[in-house]
Structure 1
Amino acid sequence: MPALSILLVTALLILAPPAAHGQAGVPAAVLHYPELVLLNGKVVTVDDRFSIREAIAIRDGKVLALGTSSEIRALAGPGTRVIDLRRRTVLPGLIDSHVHMLRAGFRWPQEVRLDDATSVDDILARIRERAAKVKPGEWILTLGGWHESQLKERRMPTREELDRAAPQHPVLLHMLLAAAVVNSPAAQALGVTDPSGVVRGAPAVVALKAKLPPVPFEQKVQGLRAVMRDFNAMGITSTVEPIGGEMTDRDYEPAFELWRRQQMTVRMGLNIVVRDLEGARRWIQALPGRFGDDWLKILGLGEVVIDQMWDQSVAAQFPIARETLADFQQVVSAATQKGITLHLHATLESTINTMLGVFEELQRQTPLRSLRLVFAHGEHVTPAQLERMKQLGMGLTVQDRQVIQGDIMKRVWGESMVAKPPLQTMYQSGVPMGGGTDGTIVAPNSPFVSLWWMITGRMLRGDVARAREHLTREEALRVYTRGSAWIAHAEGRVGSLEPGKLADLIVLSDDYLTVPEDRIPKIRSVLTIVGGNVVYEYQP
């Protein structure tokens, strides 16, 4: 049977209307025409065989059929929109399985992103451009996603340089959470007394941000819409949110409101962050377990459930107190008994070992495999730990923090960093593995920078940080689609382009599979479709 016929039979079983009647011998798929067909392309399905087709048809928000351009064109009706891909590459929508998009949205319209900045002059030009567009007195912010090591000068802009770039606007730039610099208007507004305008250390940077003017609720909602549009432009159609620091219980409300308005353009799986045993008990009592729809799901708790179990981004060692471990055991026990999963920050081998010990002890009384417990980051995970994770039915998410934190990691972790994280070992272990960025503070946001890092091990400035443990392009793409879909509990709905799955896809500016490696980070989507609807279209 021809390939298209097989795909159409599958599609008819899933998608055909129950009372589709018409001329004898005419397939129901033709009587109910697709809303959209894309022809003359390179459609990378990421199915089991990594099949590549020429064209795709979409109906009712789902993939109807894939095949040759002539086969798919024949399905189109009078009202079908036809897009000529002109040989462009199509991928399943990318899924960032660990990103702080919700938090970023609160102040996103105020931000000037420096993720790809290469020099101080580049930064100052962006600040000047923003200052020319907004009213005097309005804040100009960069809340992470860059580091001075990616710049030619290997330093932050100075207070004086920022004063010259935006003399009538308060400016706050922070790199990672390690340091911040402000100009004179911002120093006056925030009470920064150091003449340099520089504040160092994560606690001090967080305290400084807390002094920024509060953002009204509606602005947070619109900011979340704006960050979703920018993520769509980068090729992201779904995220898993570990929430993270600087969030309160009320900060989930903009996401709920956007869902109520049916204005989401990125699917979200939320993990609720809790800080201590009391907060965990409150949420565990309130949550029924995993619930939601294809746009917004509550997955579980994380990436922190006890603050003192968070082993930092880059630490040499992290001892865990007995009282902290006892609280963690209570949280894990209460959550898993209620069927609530956990998505947990774990970087060091010792932390991973401690958490696995808790899970294995609980496994004797409560089956855990169906919960899909997840470790995030895992730079120091060992083959033996991966096997233990596999026995527990766990997953793992990896992020490209190394592209701007490579110098820090080398200073703390030494030469062992050349094989960390052990991506190929992780991939071959059989533990489900999702891709991501950990944006928007400790890493850049682009999924194609992250894919490039998986493939090359390079930092943004070009140095090789991870000399071994690389993935192939196909492996990295599987991680960022099907692997991340598993982390999101959505592998039956997204992650590949197959009949009956949700029509989430991106049309690329360059062919990810063949473009030279150094151009992969610059790839963007020129057309992003989520649930069959165009949510982003590049306008030259």
Structure 2
Amino acid sequence: MVEVADLIFINGNVITMDETVPRAEAIAVRDGRVIFTGDSEGALALKGDATEVVDLEGKTTMPGFIESHIHPTLYGLNLLELDCRPANMESITDILEAVSEASEKAEEGEWIQGWGWDDSKLLERRNLTRWDLDKAAPDHPVILKRTCGHMAVVNSKALEVSGITESTESPKGGHLERDKETGKLTGLLQEKAQGMAAVPEYGFDDMVEGMKLAQKDFAKWGITTVHDMSNQKHDLQVYQYMLENNELNVRVRPWMWAIDQNGWTGSLDEVLKVGLRSGFGNDMIRIQGTKFMLDGSVGGRTAAVAEPYEGGDKDSTGILYNTVEEIAPLMKKSLEDGLRVAIHGIGERAIEVAVKSFELANETLDITKMRNRIEHVGLPTDDHLERMKKLELIAASSIGFLYHIGDSYLKNLGPERIKRAYPHKSFKEYGIKAPGNSDLPVTNGNPWTGIYTAVTRKTISGQVLDEVQNISVEDALKAYTNDAAYSSFEEDSIGVLKPDAKADIIVVSGDPFEVDVEELKDIKVEQTFINGKQVFSKSKIPEMTKG
């Protein structure tokens, strides 16, 4: 019996990301899945009386993007806070004015929270301090998170409320920065020290409100699936609540935050106790595994690198959170109970701990088919890549960093190390799957900037970082479609347009294979569909017609 389509796209330039049929003209959809890709005549043969037909008028159409590493609810909550990103606030003066305005509206004792500042892009080219914030809001506790998420600055009131004094010592895996001349706390909290700030938790309703805002941006960027890399109890409840109320418009792939770190509560023991395994869930929400974290960021100079940062002393090599002896047994517990592992490792020292820990687990348990992941994989050595290949580990590469904060990477790493930062050409040569990501809200979540940088190795300022690790447009697109889908065992159902795949479809303003590479970053998403349901539209494509 011939299936009758619910929705048909005709007269398009369809990039299927299916190697067997890479291009098509039309797509037919039924019950949220693709039932046909081919020519318009073949698609229209599946039309019924109630079928909706979209004439693409030659526009380029692709599978929806998969963001392999972001923090959806965190980004949503950030959208409720002061937006200190460089696009909004160019200087410390701008930030202080916004903080001052917020303090005038705040109730007594209310925290003022913000996010997104980047010292490398501020006019003053320095970090904020407690003394800066004291001028703007002396009577309200203030915390502003840096764009990388690995540092925050607080004012004196926040230190007082949090019980942090001049005699307080830095926690293991964190650092309370002190002024080099006076020895006094500057208010900068690095890595695990961020968890010392007594910031009140957001409520459930706040999280739902924020997630609704966040998924609007996902749809605008053409993102139809997101991997939540810091999932905790309330995150999972938010997704389920929104799904139950038909308000969830993006597929979510949660990774459960494993142990207490950076102010976040781990749930490894509880998750293992109830018997949760990777793959549990449905097409909209599906559990992936557990997430661990080993170091910080290059932008904040806290990633655990092998050699000192440019211009730093011999001890300027970042912060390593855990040793192999500490983290390997925890990872093994997760793997033995059927929960895949993703572990954050940017610097060489962190990546070494991650790889060695996976190797130890593999001695007694074959983990090679589990598609475990190292997150970011900022500075792997050839030895790391060889060992990752043997274990069939996935490199969840934050290639988007090089566009948005690549200038600070070059400054902190120098011209030689940058040649192997997020090395997509090397990943391909070693046969390592490397889905791309932005780590939103660390950097902007628009996948086209990551695709552009993977191809050009250029930063937002136009600086060419290197001419060593460039990859093709096709491979860059795979990083946000096929390879990202592979990382969740879904390469046949998402990130591709072929029969039986999910009808996650985007219509874009240009053909990435035809435009000049410099225009890749400027391609816009005009329509986004999830399960054949339109969740975003800004294009001039004619309205759907029936029959």
Q: Give the conservation status (yes or no) of the 8 Å contact 1:228–1:266.
A: yes
- What is the aligned partner in structure 1 of residue 312 from structure 2? none
- What is the aligned partner in structure 2 of residue 269 from structure 1? 253
- Aligned partner of 2:57 among 86, 101, 120: 86
Q: Give the conservation status (yes or no) of the 8 Å contact 2:129–2:188.
A: no
- What is the aligned partner in structure 2 of residue 310 from structure 1? 295
Q: Indicate how the Cα distance of structure 1 residues 170 and 258 shifts in structure 2: closer, same or farther if over 3 A, else same.
A: same
- Structure 2 residue identity aligned to 1:310: D
- What is the aligned partner in structure 1 of residue 535 from structure 2? 535
Deviations 1:293-347 (A, max 9, x none): 111111110043xxxx335553334699998432322212211211111011112
Q: Indicate how the Cα distance of structure 1 residues 227 and 327 shifts in structure 2: closer, same or farther if over 3 A, else same.
A: same
Counterpart Cα distance in 2 of 1:369 and 1:184: 50
- What is the aligned partner in structure 2 of residue 481 from structure 1? 481
- Structure 1 residue identity aligned to 2:304: A
Give the deviation of 1:282 after TM superposition: 3.2
Deviations 1:69-89 (A, max 9, x none): 233233222211122222221
- What is the aligned partner in structure 2 of residue 417 from structure 1? 418
Q: Give the conservation status (yes or no) of the 8 Å contact 1:102–1:255.
A: no
- What is the aligned partner in structure 2 of residue 224 from structure 1? 211
Helix, strand or coil for the counterpart of 1:435?
coil
Helix, strand or coil for the counterpart of 2:388?
helix
- Aligned partner of 1:62 among 5, 11, 33: 33
Counterpart Cα distance in 2 of 1:207 and 1:468: 39
Give the deviation of 1:118 after TM superposition: 9.0
Q: Indicate how the Cα distance of structure 1 residues 368 and 420 shifts in structure 2: closer, same or farther if over 3 A, else same.
A: same
Deviations 1:196-229 (A, max 9, x none): xx95343699469753x65331221122122012
- What is the aligned partner in structure 1 of residue 435 from structure 2? 434
Q: Give the conservation status (yes or no) of the 8 Å contact 1:419–1:467.
A: no
Helix, strand or coil for the counterpart of 2:449?
helix
Counterpart Cα distance in 2 of 1:55 and 1:162: 56
Give the deviation of 1:182 after TM superposition: 9.2
Counterpart Cα distance in 1 of 2:21 and 2:89: 36
Q: Indicate how the Cα distance of structure 1 residues 419 and 74 shifts in structure 2: closer, same or farther if over 3 A, else same.
A: same
Deviations 1:127-149 (A, max 9, x none): 79xx99xx9559996522x6344
Counterpart Cα distance in 2 of 1:367 and 1:158: 49
Q: Indicate how the Cα distance of structure 1 residues 153 and 225 shifts in structure 2: closer, same or farther if over 3 A, else same.
A: same
- Aligned partner of 2:272 among 263, 284, 289: 284
- What is the aligned partner in structure 2 of residue 297 from structure 1? 286
Helix, strand or coil for the counterpart of 2:35?
strand
- What is the aligned partner in structure 2 of residue 234 from structure 1? 221
- What is the aligned partner in structure 1 of residue 385 from structure 2? 386
User: What is the correspondence of 1:140-539 to structure 2 with a 5 Å cutoff?
Assistant: 142-144=114-116, 147-150=118-121, 174-176=145-147, 177=149, 199-202=187-190, 206=194, 210-211=198-199, 214-243=201-230, 249-275=233-259, 279-290=267-278, 291-304=280-293, 309-310=294-295, 312-313=297-298, 314-317=303-306, 324-399=323-398, 400-414=400-414, 415-440=416-441, 442-538=442-538
Q: Give the conservation status (yes or no) of the 8 Å contact 1:44–1:50.
A: no
Q: Give the conservation status (yes or no) of the 8 Å contact 2:73–2:207.
A: no
Q: Give the conservation status (yes or no) of the 8 Å contact 1:114–1:123.
A: no
Aligned length: 496
Q: Indicate how the Cα distance of structure 1 residues 210 and 58 shifts in structure 2: closer, same or farther if over 3 A, else same.
A: farther
41-50 or 369-378, which deviates more: 41-50
Helix, strand or coil for the counterpart of 2:341?
strand
Counterpart Cα distance in 2 of 1:508 and 1:162: 43
- Structure 2 residue identity aligned to 1:265: N
- Structure 2 residue identity aligned to 1:39: I
Q: Give the conservation status (yes or no) of the 8 Å contact 2:63–2:495.
A: yes
398-407 or 466-475, which deviates more: 398-407
Give the deviation of 1:377 after TM superposition: 1.2
Q: Give the conservation status (yes or no) of the 8 Å contact 1:109–1:226.
A: no
Q: Give the conservation status (yes or no) of the 8 Å contact 1:143–1:175.
A: yes
- Structure 2 residue identity aligned to 1:218: D
Counterpart Cα distance in 2 of 1:430 and 1:104: 32
Counterpart Cα distance in 2 of 1:148 and 1:221: 31
Counterpart Cα distance in 2 of 1:321 and 1:465: 26
- What is the aligned partner in structure 2 of residue 23 from structure 1? none
- Structure 2 residue identity aligned to 1:143: W
Counterpart Cα distance in 2 of 1:47 and 1:460: 31
Counterpart Cα distance in 2 of 1:85 and 1:513: 18
TM-score by length of 2: 0.77
92-101 or 327-336, which deviates more: 327-336
- Structure 2 residue identity aligned to 1:228: Q
Q: Indicate how the Cα distance of structure 1 residues 260 and 85 shifts in structure 2: closer, same or farther if over 3 A, else same.
A: same
Q: Indicate how the Cα distance of structure 1 residues 449 and 254 shifts in structure 2: closer, same or farther if over 3 A, else same.
A: same
TM-score by length of 1: 0.78
- What is the aligned partner in structure 1 of residue 11 from structure 2? 40
- Structure 1 residue identity aligned to 2:244: R
- Structure 1 residue identity aligned to 2:356: G
- Structure 1 residue identity aligned to 2:37: L
Helix, strand or coil for the counterpart of 1:450?
helix
- What is the aligned partner in structure 2 of residue 15 from structure 1? none
Counterpart Cα distance in 1 of 2:451 and 2:339: 30
Deviations 1:5-63 (A, max 9, x none): xxxxxxxxxxxxxxx4xxxxxxx12xx2x111112221100111561212211111001
Helix, strand or coil for the counterpart of 1:371?
coil
What RMSD over aligned residues (CA atoms) do the two structures have, in Å? 4.3
Sequence identity (%): 27
Give the deviation of 1:95 after TM superposition: 0.5
Counterpart Cα distance in 1 of 2:57 and 2:255: 40
- Aligned partner of 1:97 among 59, 62, 68: 68
Q: Indicate how the Cα distance of structure 1 residues 402 and 48 shifts in structure 2: closer, same or farther if over 3 A, else same.
A: same
Q: Give the conservation status (yes or no) of the 8 Å contact 1:174–1:205.
A: no
Counterpart Cα distance in 2 of 1:276 and 1:140: 24
Helix, strand or coil for the counterpart of 2:288?
strand
- What is the aligned partner in structure 2 of residue 14 from structure 1? none
